[in-house]
Each structure stands twice: as C-alpha cells, then as structure tokens.
Amino acid sequence: MRIALAIGTFFILLIHGIVFYDQFFHRWERNQTAYFDQARAMAKSDAERAALSDRKPRIEQIVVSNFGETRVDRCTTCHIASDDPRFSTYAEPLKTHPYSIAMGDVQKNGKWERRHKFSEFGCTVCHDGQGRGLEPKYSHGEDEYWPDPLLGHTTQDSWRKDYAPKLKGKEYLEANCAQCHTDPGFAGTATVEKGRKLFFATNCYGCHRIEGLSDGTIGPDLTEVGKKWKLDYLWGRIADPRAILATSIMPKFNLKDDEIKALVIFLKSRKGRNFAETEIQRYKVKLTGGAELVQATIKPVEIKPAEMLKQGEKLILDRACTACHKLGARDGGIAPDLSFEGSIKDEQWISAHFKNPKSTMPDSIMPTFRFTDDEFKAMTAYLVSLKTAPALTNGEATYKALCLRCHGDKGDGNGPIAIHLDPFPRDLTKAGFMNSKSDTRLVNSIRNGVAGTSMPAWGKMLDEEQAKGVLAYIQTAFTKEPRRELKARQIPEKNPIAMSAESVARGEAQFVNRCAGCHGKKADGKGPNSLDIQPKPRNLRNARFVDSVDDRRLFEAILYGVQGTAMPSWIDYGLNNNDVGDLVNFIRAINQKPKGGQNAGTNQ
C-alpha cells in the first residue's frame, strides 16, 4: 500500500513537473530570446542594446478591429522579427516579412515603409490561420478542425494527398486580397480575375448563383462558398465532382491544373460580404436580387438581322456553349455534338431547347440561360445553318461519327458523355433487348429518334439504307447473337378502355401497387428500387416521350415486359388488357397538357 501510494504520488508530481515545465519554457520564449540575442549583436548603439536588454519574453498580440469581427493575432509572439528589416535572410520564424512594391510598400531614405501595417491589419486578415494560438500546429491551422489554415501554405492531414501539393503557393493569398481589392482590374488579384473569367468561360455561371455575378439555379449557390469550404474541398468539387458526392450531376470539365487553381482562388474569395462592401450596398444588391449586376457581367448583344449568323456563332462561342458541347474542333466533352445540329433538329426544337432545356428533354442537365430573345434567335439561326455531315462511308464509319459519343466505342452505352445523359444511352450489347425488337422498330428509332431523350432523329442525314447499315454494324459488332424469329404477341392496337376519371383512378391505384417501386410514386422513374437498376426505369412524366409512343407499344412493354431491362412481363403477374388499359390511361393522363402548357398533375 505504501509503495503504491508512493508511486501514485510520484506520478502526480511528475506530471505536475511536466506541465509546469511546459508552461514556463515555451518555444516562443526561446524564439524571442534568440531574437533579442541576435538583435543585441546587431545593435549599433548602447541605447539600442540597453533597450533590448530591458525586453523580456512576453506574448505579443495585435487586436484588429477594422476588418469584420475583432481578431486577436498573436502571431508576432513567434514571428517577432517580422517587422525588423535586419532579419530578411533569417529562417522562419525569425524572418522579416518581405517588403514588396506590389503590395504598396515604399522605400524612403533607404527605409521601407509598409502599406499594410501589421499594427492595423494583423496577420490573419491576409494569411488566415488561427491568431489566438501560440502553438504552431494550432495557429497555422494544421489540425483538421480549423476552417482556415494558412492560405497557400498549410495543408491539413485530412486533405487528399494528390491535391495537397497543388494547394500551396502565394497566389492563394489573392483570395484574401480580393476581400478589400474588389476591382476586377486590380493588379494584385490577377488570379482571382482569371478565375472569374473562367467562371464564365467554362459556364459555371449557367448552373451556379453568386450574388451579383450570376443566377444559375441548378447547382448550389456559391455566394459564400469561400467562407464555408477549405481549398481541398473546392479543388475536389471541380476536379472530380463525383468523388465527393456520388450522385452529383456536375460534369467533370476538361480543365488544366492552373485553370482549376484560378477557379479555386476565385471561389475562395467568395465569402458573401467582403470588407469593401457596406451594409447599404449589400442591401441594395438584395433589393434588386443582383439582377443589374448579373446583366452588367453578361452584357446583352444587340442583334442585327444582317449579321445574325455571324453574331449567333460568336455568341455560341462567347457564352461558352462549348464548355460542354462539341462544335467542330472545340469539345467540352460533356454534352452532345452540335456540329451538324441543323441536320438533326429544326429551328422550333432548338429554340425551345434554348429557352427551357427541360421542355424538350425533361431530364436534361443543361441550365436555362437567361439571354435575350434576339440572342436566342441568332444562336438558333446559326445552329440551324450547321448541316455539314461528316463522311458516312459505311455502317462503322457512321457509328463512329454519330453514335459513339453517347453509345460508346464498345456499344455498351458508356460513351464519353453518357453519364451526363438521362435517360442513359441504350446498351447495344444487350442481346435480350436488341433481339426482342424488330428491325423496323430499330431503324425507326435511328431515323426518327426517341422523343424527349438525347437520341436525335438521324433521318435527314441517314436514308433507310444507311440506317440499316449502321444497324447491321451494331448487330455484328456489339449485339453479336444471331437474330431470332420474334414470337407473335397478342397486343391490342388501341386501348380498349375509354379514357375516364374512373379508369385513371383505377390505373393510379394499380400503378402505386405495382409500378411505384421502380418508376416512383411520381412516375418520374426515381422509385426506391431504381438506384440498383440499369438501364434506369423510364421517366413516365416525360411527356414528349409518352406522346410519341402509341398505345400498342405501351401495351407491349407492360404486358410482355422489356427484355434486357428490369421491366417484367406483367401478364405473368396477372394483369389483363383491362388493367393495362387503366394504367395506360393513367400514364396518358399525367402527361396531358392543359392549355397553360404545363404538364398536368395527377388526375385525382
């Protein structure tokens, strides 16, 4: 017992010893002592030496109240020589903060004078980091919980290893410079400006809103993105959006590292209110919704009828359509090829698609741009004029020129842009599907397209023979299995059940019971089971598609299923023609357009 007591007491004393040692022999004290020693050695006069002798190590701090919330910066406790020009060649922490003309520092009589005095600005206003701490780990923001590690200097352990080295560099500090220097032409924030330009050039503005700059609604609002997220996250969201959020619809843009860096720096500078704004300015922007500023950023072009085509072409390029689409040599690698748009779409379709992409393709990820009607007209006119077809010598060449971008070089529907398309391109290697459809039907799909989806009508470019050639190539190269004789199916040509409120109600009950698991309660193809199904269940609220298929085809799909997909044959589950008739009426009913032009709600 006595020994145990002695050991316990010893531990208590020992730990007290360690704690006290820690408390009274700080690293910063050693730094300061070293500084005093060095400075004494450099001193030129006795008075200077005496003054230094009087200085004892102490916690230095700068209280900054001019910039937002009051900050307490104790950085100079360690970086005590930051304002002493004699230490410019020393190593950190005893190094002079560099003087620079670009920063506005001036030399008078051989003495530098700072534009940004530390006594007024402190340190963290520009550098971030945590001013209150005295331990490098915490003050530099190395611990993963600190939201603002030293900009462009400190990376945290939790950051992705391949990104971390790219997140170092002085340019990142510009994000903080831009908190006061908001003028786009300011020389010190060139990278922020580059990022701002890229924000428009790569079409970020189409989806994202930044107060006063853009008003996209598809993606998250980025007005305060720099305040919320660290560099690592910003880089990751741009460089590889789906690595962070698997369900993100944000395309992976074809950007070089220095472009991503500029965008990250620009986004890091978006902190909602910056120091240059006043409350009243902020309020004014809020009143107008930033509309004036948005329009000032994207200036409307006056369209002259004589130069319509030219202006349309310029607009398409200037407004960064090719950040996603392909047009000639330019290719964003995200959206379909526009190079021969005039041959596959008409003016009406293109114009409608411009004004509201979802009106022609309900699941398109293309944002709605708020350009003027005249601008849309010019851009439409230009696209309609693009009718130069590529060389279509045989089936294979045609496939490669027209189909590969979506259906992929293996024909499995995994083309380069496929992940951005909804519905997903058909997997042409699935013999179950391909062989359950007649040649006529498949050629029809090629020549007339599939309404409401990204599959265009190739009829103007491919005649019957050419289309058959492509189909033959697909069947031999991808489907491979030999064609089989199709079994005869008993399918009514017309829906035997007349459209009525009762029939629709019966159909809805039937739908909720049997179909909603995959097609979803809203019939939008997003039911709980849909996540594991490929191809995805059809969106039955896609009015363009539903209107384009006749009753016979709906009956066939429901009664006999769709081979090669998860759609079962409902005859096997006891549905008869009358049940299917109700279902078809229900599906038609939810896609009926009232005079307003909107899709009708469910018919209750």
Q: Which residues bind another protein (CB under 8 A)?
A: 1, 4-5, 8-9, 11-12, 15-16, 18-19, 23, 59, 69, 72, 74, 130, 132-135, 138-139, 145-147, 228
Cβ 391 vs Cβ 466: under 8 Å: no
Cis ω before 367 (30° cut-off from 0): no
* In the complex, least distance from residue 528 CB atom to another protein, rounded to whole angstroms: 15
Burial grade of 460 (CB within 10 A; 0-12, 13-18, 19 or more): middle
Minimum CB–partner distance for residue 145 and another protein (Å): 4
Triad 232, 200, 178: Cα angle to 5°: 55
Q: What is the 3-state secondary structure (H, E, C) of 501-527?
A: HHHHHHHHHHHHHHCHHHHCCCCCCCC
Question: Backbone phi, then psi, for 258, in 5-degree steps?
Answer: -70, -25
CA distances from 315 to 201, 218, 334, 380 (A): 12, 22, 19, 10
267-271-273 Cα angle (round to 5): 140
443: its two tokens: 């050629």
- Nearest distance, CB of residue 61 and another protein, angstroms: 9
Distance CA 570, CA 583 (A): 12
Please identify, using beta-carbon distances, which residue of 74 and 166 lies nearer to another protein. 74
Nearer to another protein, 71 or 261 (CB): 71
We find the least distance from the C-beta atom of residue 26 to another protein, in angstroms, to be: 10
Q: What's the min distance (Å) between Cβ of 11 and another protein? A: 4
- Residue closer to another protein (CB basis): 75 or 173: 75
Q: Output 138 or 433, the one with its CB closest to another protein.
A: 138
Closer of 5 and 287 to another protein (Cβ): 5
Indicate the residue among 74 and 588 with the shorter CB distance to another protein: 74
Q: Which is nearer to another protein, 156 or 214 (CB)?
A: 156
DSSP, residue by residue, 283-319: HHHHHHTTHHHHHHHS---PPPGGGHHHHHHHHHHHT
By beta-carbon proximity to another protein, the closer residue of 74 and 326 is 74
What is the per-residue burial (b if ≥16 Cβ within 10 Å, else e) of 81-92? bbebeebeeeee
Strands 71-73, 106-108: pairing is unpaired
Q: How far apart are CA 404 and CA 390, in angstroms?
A: 13
Which is closer to another protein, CB of 65 or CB of 476? 65
Amino acid at 164: A
Q: State yes or no: cis peptide before 165, omega within 30 of 0.
A: no
CB of 498 to another protein, least distance (A): 47
Of 15 and 317, which has the nearer Cβ to another protein? Answer: 15
Integer Cα distance of 453 and 424 in angstroms: 9
Angle 276-280-283 from CA coordinates, rounded to 5°:
105
CB of 223 to another protein, least distance (A): 12
Q: Cβ of residue 151: shortest distance to another protein, in angstroms?
A: 17
Work out how close the CB of 230 gets to another protein at its nearest, in angstroms, rounded to a whole number. 10
Cβ 18 to another protein shortest distance, Å: 6
Residue 128 beta carbon to another protein: minimum distance, rounded to whole angstroms:
14
> Toward another protein, which CB reaches closer, 5 or 391?
5
Give how far the C-alpha of residue 54 lies from the chain's centroid of Cα atoms, to the nearest Å: 58
Q: Return the H-helix or E-strand segment holding 51.
A: helix 46-54
Residues 6+ apart with CB under 8 A from 140: 129, 130, 149, 150, 153, 154
Q: Rank residues 74 and 536 by Cβ distance to another protein and give the closer one.
A: 74
Only one residue has tokens 């008003």, namely: 215
Q: How far is the CB of 57 from another protein (least distance, A)?
A: 14
Give the nearer residue to another protein in terms of CB position, either 132 or 494.
Answer: 132
Q: What whole-number distance in Å separates Cα of residue 304 and Cα of residue 31?
A: 70
Minimum distance from CB of 4 to another protein (Å)?
6
Q: Which is nearer to another protein, 4 or 329 (CB)?
A: 4
Q: Which H/E stretch holds residue 111? A: strand 111-113
Tokens of 234: 């910003």
**Least separation, in Å, of the C-beta of 132 and another protein?**
4
Look up residue 446 and give its two tokens: 């090629």
Whether a cis peptide bond, with omega within 30° of 0, leads into 423 is yes
Q: At which residue do the structure tokens 């997003």 appear?
A: 526
